[in-house]
Structure 1
Amino acid sequence: MSVSKYSNIELSDVRGVLIDLDDTLYVYQVNHDHALKEVHKELFSDMDYSEFSQLYRNARNTVTQRLMPQGACRSRLFAFQTVFETLGTQQPFVRAYVADALYWDSFIANMALAPAADAFLARCEALGLPVCVVSDMTAHVQIRKIEKLGLTGRITHLVTSEEVGAEKPDALMFQAGMRKLGIHRGEDAIMIGDSLDKDIIGAQAINIKAYQVSLTQEF
């Protein structure tokens, strides 16, 4: 399947739009890198960044494997708690709470809406099409992201894996979004996302037309 540009997405005969958030409405990696470096600078400066980032990555993998497919498997709080436990830090849950807050404050402050996504959502708004974000993540974090991107007036609904108890490509995620949009047939909705396996194949399995987008190709 070829990657689509936002400007080429067809909106005729569509009653509602399902859309991913991370790496679909904004670029994830640059914000993650910025946030992790802030955590390292403030809380882990006694070790090399490469050592810290690998420790963090291992912790994220451990949490993901243990808690999949619950939304909690994406928790940075649990990842940082695992890091502090690995290091033998006293009261690791308290330190993890501080690290989690610093990570997300830094991440979200650095975010910016992708221009192509902005233009697409403006098209949806002009056509009166409701938009539901469908995301594998904890709800409170995604709400903060939506607010920072200035989309609270343009996103009609939000579905997260934390709420549903499953992750994309599980049909439950897309069906939950359709219910919130008041859509009963897959043919009346479209799904937009960056992941072929999660967003595109998952949506197509229940007859939702899907468009894979890449923000790096929009510029």
Structure 2
Amino acid sequence: MKYTTLLIDADDTLFDFDKAEETSLDRFYKRMDLKCPYNEFREVYNRENHLLWKAFERGKATAEKVKVQRFVNTMKALELYEDNGVELSRIYMEELSRCRFLLPGADDFCEKLSSHYNLYVITNGLWDVQRSRVGDSEIYRRFFKGLIVSEKVGSAKPDKGIFDEARKTAGNPLLEEMLIIGDSLTSDIRGGDLYGIDSCWFNPGGKELVGPSTPTYEVADYESLLKILL
């Protein structure tokens, strides 16, 4: 195989972010003793969080704004109380950083790949959270050579800057030796396309392919990708 370097997205590619987020929100809700139904809180938070992260991908919001403003907007929408969001953000991220749930089969997948490739995690996220959730996880310590996080780099997928940092961290391999693997068409696949490297869309949910970029590969599970790479 021509590749030497695999850039692998973290959340919803290796880590079960939905489970981590649900667990963290539940713990946050109980710690804050919020006076509204949990489902209502979760729905509003998910909406505000999604809108802000999409703005972040477009370069319209900083990571610092995302992690604070999502709570400001949520509390305002629920008419609970006025808050600048800083302490709320700290409590939530404290809970989230403890949640290292893997997708089924992720450990075995990375173990098999690590014997043949140099593995790096590339993720759009907050440094303090991903450093703990990903960087301190057993799967990262065993199989990966580096962690590239958008907040620390100052650039987010699909922008060129975060890929430049990943390539530098990996020892400047040739572009044709690099492959990005991820679940997001707008950040992972689009980013690979713009940077000039091959991409693999991890699509276990069978989503429809939409957007300007077409992945080099599309797989529904780890085994299918292992058949391509090994």
Query: Which TM class, normalised by the smaller chain length?
Result: 0.7 to 0.9
Compute the TM-score of the two structures, normalised by the length of structure 2. Answer: 0.73
- Taking the TM superposition and a 5 Å limit, the aligned residue runs for 1:1-219 are 12-60=1-49, 63-64=52-53, 69=59, 71-72=62-63, 75-84=66-75, 87=79, 89=81, 92-93=83-84, 96-127=85-116, 129-150=117-138, 151-214=140-203, 217-218=220-221
> Offset of 1:149 from its aligned partner?
3.1
Asked if 1 retains the 8 angstrom alpha-carbon contact of 2:135 and 2:141, the reply is yes
Asked if 1 retains the 8 angstrom alpha-carbon contact of 2:135 and 2:147, the reply is no
* Matched residue, 1:3: none
Q: Deviations over 1:81-125 (max 9, x none)?
A: 4444664746x24xx444334433433444322343222321232
- Count of matched residue positions in the alignment of Structure 1 and Structure 2: 204
Contiguous gaps of at least 5 residues in structure 1: 1-11
Assess, with a 3 A threshold, how the Cα gap between structure 1 residues 60 and 206 changes in structure 2: closer, same or farther.
Answer: closer
> Offset of 1:140 from its aligned partner?
1.8
Q: Secondary structure at the match of 2:144?
A: coil
Q: Which has the higher helix share?
A: 1
Q: Deviations over 1:23-43 (max 9, x none)?
A: 111121122122112222221
Q: State the structure with bigger RCO (CA 8 A, min sep 6), 1 or 2.
A: 1
> Offset of 1:18 from its aligned partner?
0.8
> Offset of 1:175 from its aligned partner?
2.2
Q: Secondary structure at the match of 2:115?
A: helix
Assess, with a 3 A threshold, how the Cα gap between structure 1 residues 180 and 71 changes in structure 2: closer, same or farther.
Answer: farther
Q: Deviations over 1:161-214 (max 9, x none)?
A: 213333211222222211110124210111100112221232033331111113
**2:67 alignment partner AA:** R
> Offset of 1:143 from its aligned partner?
1.0
Identity over aligned pairs, percent = 22
Q: 2: CA distance between counterparts of 1:193 and 1:65?
A: 17
Contiguous gaps of at least 5 residues in structure 2: 206-219, 223-230
CA RMSD of aligned residues (A): 2.9
